[in-house]
Amino acid sequence: MPDNHHKAKQLHANQSLTIFSHRLAVSIQKQSVPLLVKQTGVSETMLYQYASEKAYPTLPKLALIAQECGVSLAWLFSDDERDEKQANTDNSAPSKLQQFTVTDDVMHPTIKQHVNIQYQLLKPIAKKKRWQDGLYVLTNQQGLIVRRVQWCENNDSYRVYGDNPNYPPQIMSAIAPIGKVTAIIQPI
């Protein structure tokens, strides 16, 4: 019995990946590839590999491609046909503001667990440029996270940390934020 349950879960996961791959391919194919290369910094070869479902982008690259294609990450991962038709007919500029629910307590007490934040999508910057200090949305193995980022000139690295003293800061030579926090949406 558990074997059938596992197979059913695997089948559902495979179907979800197929939907995602197809939607990403359709979104890329509707764009001017040279323009998409310029806007995202992703090579033409990689875009064609994504469009032909031979490779998959990292989450930050995926967020940027979705933004430039005018579709949301939620639409790419959902199986709601209504959203697909809307995305295919809506030629308006994509919203650069996104929301997600914070699931950890690293930013407590400033941002409590299960509170929504709003963030502005960011494009990658050249390696020689530096991100300004601030609250950013980053990705890690858990998914999306919010952390404070501070550039440390003395050792050419970023200090990435939360407001909760139980979590020590991390020193990183490079970061790839996907967004900058613009609002904390707290229930009354």
Give pLDDT tens digits for 34-87: 888 888 888 989 888 887 778 888 888 888 888 888 887 777 776 665 444 444
Q: Dihedral of CA 35/136/61/144: which sign?
A: negative
Maximum average pLDDT range among 75-79, 140-144, 146-150: 146-150
CB 139 within 8 A of CB 145: yes
Cis before 109? omega within 30: yes
Strands 97-101 and 116-121 come out as antiparallel
What domains sit in the chain, N to C, each tagged with a CATH number? 2-89 (1.10.260), 97-185 (2.10.109.10)
Alpha-carbon dihedral of residues 148, 160, 72, 79, nearest 10 degrees?
Answer: -120
How far does Cα 126 stand from its chain's mean position?
A: 18
170-172/116-121 β-pairing: unpaired
Amino acid at 149: V
Q: Is the pLDDT of residue 146 over 90?
A: yes
Close Cβ partners of 125 (under 8 Å, ≥ 6 residues apart):
131
CA 41 to chain CA centroid, Å, is 15
